[in-house]
Structure 1
Amino acid sequence: MRTRKQKIILAAKIIATIFLVIIIALFAFRNALLKQAIAKISFKMERDYNSVFSIKEASFVGFSGVSLSQIILVPKDADTLFNIQKMKTSVNFWRLLIGDIQLGTLEIENGYVQLVKNKKGRNFEAFLKKDEATTNSNEKRNYAKFAYRIISKVLNLVPTDMKIENLSFRLNDDGNKTTVNFQKLRLVNQQLETYIKVETNTFTQRIRIRGFADPRNKKADIRFFNMDSGAIKMPYIDERFNLKSSFDSIRVNIENIDKSGGKLHIDGFASIANLMVNHPKIASKDVVIKNAKFDFRFLLGSDFISIDSSSTVEFNKIKFHPYLSYETREDTIYKLKVAIPKMKAQDFISSLPDGLFSHFQGMEAEGNFEYNLDFMFNKNKPNTLIFDSNLKKENLKITKYGEANLNKLNGEFVYRAIINNVPQRPVLIGSSNPNYTPLDQISPYLQKCVLTSEDPSFFSHRGFINEAFKQSILKNIRTKKFSRGASTISMQLIKNVFLTREKTASRKLEEILLVYILENNRIASKERMLEVYFNIIEWGPNVYGIGEASQFYFQKRPADLTLKECLFLATIVPKPKKFMWQFDNEGKLKSFANQQQKFLSNLMLRRGILIPEDTIGQSIPLNLSGNAHSLLKLKVQDSIPVDSLAVEEPYEF
């Protein structure tokens, strides 16, 4: 009688034999199984994606290797998606048994993958279809689990050893063509070496990529270099988005990808040297950042995606810690925090990117500062928006001005408005100009009306109004475009005197920084700033300053303007060249214009800026007695439709 030990040994032998038989059977019939698998893929491609998939020859090599030739995928009535002449690969047999594909080696010779968009459509359109089961599911996505699954699958498809010769990735977007040809790629013993040739409609370039790559342990350290002279240009985006960009080198390092405690951590850093970007919406010149580095930690949970505050961004000598998150636990919430630790003001100025802050070139400063920004927007509760900007300074002082010499405001100077990059006629801002009007000679009514409509807290703020920024952000989010700014009179003054009217990120950033310097270093008094403002702003077509405006509209001195006339002048400040569309064909104010002025006067009454006696005679019709009256007659004769800027719309204060 067999003992228990003998029975266990016998059972083990039987299981081993059965397993061996299965392995032998699989080995014997593996080519048939391979052909069956290819047939299934071909059927699925035709059924689900209306595409023809074919492989001319397919066979096993050794125990786990597969050799394929002429692998082609062609969507019907569209350009070929890919065509690979020769490919050899091996898979991890044991992981394959549990349904997980993990490539061991990969060799590719001669082939291409191409994405085409033309009049016939996109050759990849069918593959963009969403899975209906996923689309219709109400189950909330777990960001950490989803991202980790995708990353793991992608990295498992990256072989540990790879050899590629002459593989091209082609992109044709309505004639904007880009070809990235991997002339040679080697990944051996975790060391990566790649030579790439990039060709576009406008340039040809050779790039070298080398470094360390360990897909199984989810680590990499890769660098990009130009093999030719000059910087590496970014293909496609120039032709597609009118964004020119280049760099000398890039380094990307992935130190850790780990999922624990329900959270996914992705740690590493990226650095770039001599990054150049040029786009009409960014700046009128090339913007250059000499050295930049991003030490990142991405955190993903079941209901949030974030850049952790332990991350650090550095460019030149500026260093700050960003925090960015997208949360969906109960409401959809966006958060942004920026913390710049204590640093020298001069280091900050000298580190500003070339081309982005041209008016700061040559500026010198003393002292230190630190800065914190806290922003939060709840999509379901927009009125709870948080916008808190806080700068702490320590002996901060500007010792030398750059191109924008703010002391200019305290003396006589020549002002020239620039409209559509065209300088307008020169206007002397000073007593030598007979139309120049000192503040004490401007009607108090006009001062009160303009301050109420443009900047009620001008004499108390330091250049910015946080609440105005919040309301501006809210409206821009609701309209999904930049439909409202938050300009104070200080900001309008800086924009007019020192900057251009170009709508670029550069101009707006310079405006913010110059306003801060102007207001917080008390370079000019509030009264002087307001006086210059009244004498430079545009009040009509080729009409600059209140001295010209009071004559143009009413043939009066600014001191003699009535409340009715001042209300009119205040309400046309946002669109002075369109003033004539406030009048009907008989030269009378339209109802919407009267309502704007009535709203403004009632607001001033409620705030105690006016008293009821001030409004006596306000019902008397407004009479344009100056040259402006002739433009009303031209408007009646003009058959050109009113443009979108001249439509009747509510006035905002």
Structure 2
Amino acid sequence: MRTRKQWFFLILKITLVLIVLAVGSIYFFRDTILQQVLQKVEHKFKSDYNATFSVGNAKFVGTSSITLDNIHIIPFEKDTLLSVEKITTEISLLQMVTGDVQLKNLEMKNGFIQLVKNENGRNFDAFLKKDKNEQTTTEKRNYAQIANRILSKLLNLIPSEMNLDNLSLRVNDMGKKVNFHMNHLQLVDEQLNTNIHVTTNTFAQDWNIKGYANPRDKKADITFASADTTKIQIPYIDEKFGLKSSFDKIRVQLDRIEMGFSELHIDGIVSVENLTVNHPKIAKKDVVVQQAQFDYKFLLGSDFIALDHTSSAQLNKIKIEPYLEYNTEEDTLYKLKLNINKMKAQDFIESLPNGLFTHFEGMQAEGEFDYNLDFEFNKNKPNQLIFESKFNKNNLKILKYGEANLEKLNTEFSYAAIENGRAQRSIFVGKSNPNFTPLDSISPYLKHAVLTNEDPSFMHHRGFISEAFKQSIAKNIRTKKFARGASTISMQLVKNVFLTREKTLSRKLEEILLVYILENNRIASKERMLEVYFNVIEFGPDVYGIGEASKFYFQKTPRNLNLNECLFLASIVPKPKKFMYQFNEEGLQKSYAVKQQKFIKNLMLRRALITPEDTIGQSVPITVSGRARSFLKLKVVQDSIPSDTLLVPESEFFN
């Protein structure tokens, strides 16, 4: 009878024999197993992706190396997606059977991947669709687990060593072509080195990519730079979106991808030198960022994705501490926090990207400041939006202005509106202009009506209305478009006098900064700002200032305008060139216009800006009697108009 010890060794021997037999069987039938795996892949491509997957020849070399010849992926009735003459890689037999593939060595030569979009569609569409076999579930997504699983699979497919020869990535988007060609790429002893020749419809250049890469430790430090002294141009987006961009060098570091305590940490650094962008929606000229660095620390949990508060962004000398979070634990929350610690004002001015703040070039300042922004939006409770912006200054003083000299507001000056990049006729803001109207010579009705319609708290705020910003942001997020602005009279004044009407990011950012400087340094009084505003804003086609407007519409001086006429003028300030659409063929205002002006009047009554007595006798409709009447589409026959009435053709008037 066997002892327990003997039984143990017997079982151990049997187990070892079975393992050896299993391994031997797998080894002996490895080519058969490989063919079966390829057949399954071929079937999956055909059934799930409407594509043909084919391999001319496939075999094992030794115990773990696989060689594949003439590999093709061709979607049905589409352009070839992939074609490679030869692939050799090292893979575990057990991994091949289980499907948990982790590539070790990889050699590829003579091939291409091409992404094509043409009149027949895209040759990669089927691979973007959701897997039909994927089970639907009502359970909440676990962001950390999903991201960790995807990143692990991707990194497993990157071999620890590579030699790639004569390979290309081709993109053809309706004739917009980009070709990335590698003569040779090498990853040996964790060192990556390659040269890529890039050709497009508009340029050709060579890139150098080199650095450290360890996909098993999930770490990398790679630098992208031009092979010569030129800047790297980013292809495709210039033709696709009109965005021209280039840089001297980009360095990408991945320091950690680690799952712990149900949270995924992704840490690293991205830096760029002399990043240049050019797009008509950004600025009129090149925008250049000399030095920028982003130290990122992403944190993903079961129900949130966040950019941790320990992250930092450096723009020249400006250091920003950002915090971003998307959270679905209870409601859907979007959070943003920005913090700029105390810094010198001059360092801030000198760090602004060249070309983005042209009106600040040459500005000098002393003192320090710090800034904090706290934003939170609850998708399920949009009215509870949080928007808190705090700018704290310490002995901050402007010593010298740049191109936008805000002190100009306290002097007489010439003003010319800029439309579509072209200066309009010049207007002198001063007493030598017969149409210039001092503030005390403007009807109080007009002052109250315009303030009520445009900016009720103008006399008290510091350039911005936080509540208006909140409502504007909430509505724009809900409608997923720019449906509402939050412009104050201060912002309109700065835009008109110092900037242009172009709708660019540059103009809006300059407007915000200039308004803050104007209002918080008390450069001009509120009364003077309002006086200039009334004398420069557009009240109609080529009609600037209230002096011209009162004559253009009513053949009156601004002092003699009645309440209804002032309500009309206030109502057209947002769209002055479209005033004529308020009137019907009889020259009377349409009902929607009357209703709008009645709304402004009722607000003025509630705020005690006018009294009920002021409305007596104001039920009579307004009559446009000045040159503006020639813009109305009236039934009146041309011959019946008196010869002494001045009529200006609309086309000439606009010119």
**TM-score, reference length from structure 1:** 0.96
The one-letter code sitting in structure 2 at the alignment partner of 1:430 is G
- Alpha-carbon deviations, 1:435-474, whole Å to 9, x = none? 0000011011110110111111011000000011111112
Please say if residues 584 and 633 of structure 2, whose CA atoms lie closer than 8 Å, have aligned partners that are also in contact: no
- Alpha-carbon deviations, 1:539-560, whole Å to 9, x = none? 1111110001111111111111
Please say if residues 26 and 93 of structure 2, whose CA atoms lie closer than 8 Å, have aligned partners that are also in contact: no
* Matching residue of 1:64: 64
What CA distance in whole angstroms lies between the structure 2 residues aligned with 1:500 and 1:387?
28
Please say if residues 96 and 102 of structure 1, whose CA atoms lie closer than 8 Å, have aligned partners that are also in contact: no
* Matching residue of 2:316: 316
What CA distance in whole angstroms lies between the structure 1 residues aligned with 2:102 and 2:225?
30
What CA distance in whole angstroms lies between the structure 2 residues aligned with 1:349 and 1:432?
37
* Matching residue of 2:500: 500
The answer on 1:561 being equivalent to 2:561 is yes
The one-letter code sitting in structure 2 at the alignment partner of 1:34 is L
* Matching residue of 1:645: none
SS at match of 2:425: coil
What CA distance in whole angstroms lies between the structure 1 residues aligned with 2:223 and 2:127?
32
What CA distance in whole angstroms lies between the structure 1 residues aligned with 2:118 and 2:469?
43
The one-letter code sitting in structure 2 at the alignment partner of 1:364 is Q
User: Counterparts in 2 of 1:422-441, with a 5 A limit?
Assistant: 422-441=422-441
* Matching residue of 2:412: 412
What CA distance in whole angstroms lies between the structure 2 residues aligned with 1:471 and 1:288?
33
Deviation at 1:219, TM superposition (A): 0.7
* Matching residue of 1:646: none
Please say if residues 269 and 295 of structure 1, whose CA atoms lie closer than 8 Å, have aligned partners that are also in contact: yes
What CA distance in whole angstroms lies between the structure 2 residues aligned with 1:27 and 1:218?
31
* Matching residue of 1:287: 287
* Matching residue of 2:594: 594
Please say if residues 416 and 425 of structure 1, whose CA atoms lie closer than 8 Å, have aligned partners that are also in contact: yes
The answer on 1:16 being equivalent to 2:16 is yes
What CA distance in whole angstroms lies between the structure 2 residues aligned with 1:306 and 1:585?
59
- Alpha-carbon deviations, 1:379-398, whole Å to 9, x = none? 11110111111101000110
CA gap 1:424/1:65 in 2 versus in 1, 3 angstroms: same
What CA distance in whole angstroms lies between the structure 1 residues aligned with 2:30 and 2:392?
72
- Alpha-carbon deviations, 1:158-183, whole Å to 9, x = none? 11111101111110000000011122
Please say if residues 86 and 110 of structure 2, whose CA atoms lie closer than 8 Å, have aligned partners that are also in contact: yes
CA gap 1:83/1:489 in 2 versus in 1, 3 angstroms: same
The one-letter code sitting in structure 2 at the alignment partner of 1:218 is K
SS at match of 2:309: coil
What CA distance in whole angstroms lies between the structure 2 residues aligned with 1:499 and 1:53?
59
* Matching residue of 1:642: none
* Matching residue of 1:357: 357
SS at match of 1:598: helix
Please say if residues 268 and 295 of structure 1, whose CA atoms lie closer than 8 Å, have aligned partners that are also in contact: yes
User: How many residue pairs get matched?
Assistant: 638
- Alpha-carbon deviations, 1:189-241, whole Å to 9, x = none? 11111111111111111111111111111111111111022100101111111
What CA distance in whole angstroms lies between the structure 1 residues aligned with 2:631 and 2:475?
34
What CA distance in whole angstroms lies between the structure 2 residues aligned with 1:634 and 1:407?
46
What CA distance in whole angstroms lies between the structure 2 residues aligned with 1:409 and 1:591?
39
RMSD: 1.4
The answer on 1:631 being equivalent to 2:634 is no
Deviation at 1:12, TM superposition (A): 1.3
The one-letter code sitting in structure 2 at the alignment partner of 1:443 is S
Please say if residues 586 and 634 of structure 2, whose CA atoms lie closer than 8 Å, have aligned partners that are also in contact: no
What CA distance in whole angstroms lies between the structure 1 residues aligned with 2:637 and 2:111?
68
CA gap 1:132/1:379 in 2 versus in 1, 3 angstroms: farther
Deviation at 1:10, TM superposition (A): 2.0
* Matching residue of 1:539: 539
The answer on 1:211 being equivalent to 2:235 is no
Deviation at 1:421, TM superposition (A): 1.4
* Matching residue of 1:577: 577
User: Counterparts in 2 of 1:151-230, with a 5 A limit?
Assistant: 151-230=151-230
SS at match of 1:326: strand
- Structure 2 unaligned runs (5+)? 639-655
SS at match of 2:27: helix
User: Counterparts in 2 of 1:249-268, with a 5 A limit?
Assistant: 249-268=249-268
SS at match of 1:145: helix
The one-letter code sitting in structure 1 at the alignment partner of 2:441 is Q
The one-letter code sitting in structure 1 at the alignment partner of 2:185 is L
* Matching residue of 1:114: 114
SS at match of 1:600: helix
- Structure 1 unaligned runs (5+)? 639-653
- Alpha-carbon deviations, 1:604-649, whole Å to 9, x = none? 11111111111111101111121112222469899xxxxxxxxxxx
SS at match of 2:281: coil
- Alpha-carbon deviations, 1:59-114, whole Å to 9, x = none? 10111110011000111111001001011001144555654211110000110001
CA gap 1:133/1:93 in 2 versus in 1, 3 angstroms: closer
Please say if residues 580 and 635 of structure 1, whose CA atoms lie closer than 8 Å, have aligned partners that are also in contact: no
Deviation at 1:475, TM superposition (A): 2.0
SS at match of 2:453: helix
* Matching residue of 2:143: 143
Deviation at 1:483, TM superposition (A): 2.2
CA gap 1:245/1:566 in 2 versus in 1, 3 angstroms: same
